[in-house]
Amino acid sequence: QVQLVESGGGLVQAGGSLRLSCAASGRTFSTWNMGWFRQAPGKDRDFVAAIRWSGGTTYYADSVKGRFAISRDNAKNTVYLQMNSLKPEDAAVYYCAAGQNYPMSLLSTEDGYDYWGQGTQVTVSS
């Protein structure tokens, strides 16, 4: 069982930055792939970024490439999402997710994850 707790959300002006954190319970954090998804009101939950268990490979949605960066600290059981140059369309509830070592093709889908956090709200003012 893995429990995930996100933090770091808030209100930011367009062009600003935020860093989200996701603290995971459990001693096997280093063996889990980690991902970030987001859901805006009235929309589906969308993939944002993922990082393999080893930390050596990352994946991003086209909409955030070059602006967001995912990283992990296995010693702290924490995954981060650094968000720069934020746009109003980035506003959403951001969810952290943990998954076993599923095929790479699943990392951008909800099927690639077994556990989800409660989410943290990100609001971007124009």
Q: For 39-76, what is each residue's pLDDT tens digit?
A: 999 999 999 999 998 877 999 999 999 999 999 999 99
Among positive and negative, which fits the CA dihedral 66, 118, 18, 20? negative
- pLDDT for 27 beyond 80: no
Spatial separation of the C-alpha atoms in residues 34 and 104, rounded to whole Å = 12
- pLDDT for 28 beyond 90: no
Spatial separation of the C-alpha atoms in residues 16 and 117, rounded to whole Å = 24
> Of the candidates 95, 92, 96, 98, which has an alpha carbon nearest to the alpha carbon of residue 113?
98
pLDDT of residue 26: 78
Q: What is the CB neighbour count within 10 angstroms for residue 7? A: 14
Q: What are phi and psi of 88, to 5 degrees?
A: -55, -35
Give the pLDDT band of residue 15 (cuts 50, 70, 90): very high
User: Which tokens belong to 49?
Assistant: 């970024």
Q: What is the pLDDT of residues 80-116, one digit of tens each?
A: 999 999 999 999 999 999 999 888 889 999 999 999 9
Query: Quick one: how far is CA 50 from the chain centroid?
Result: 7
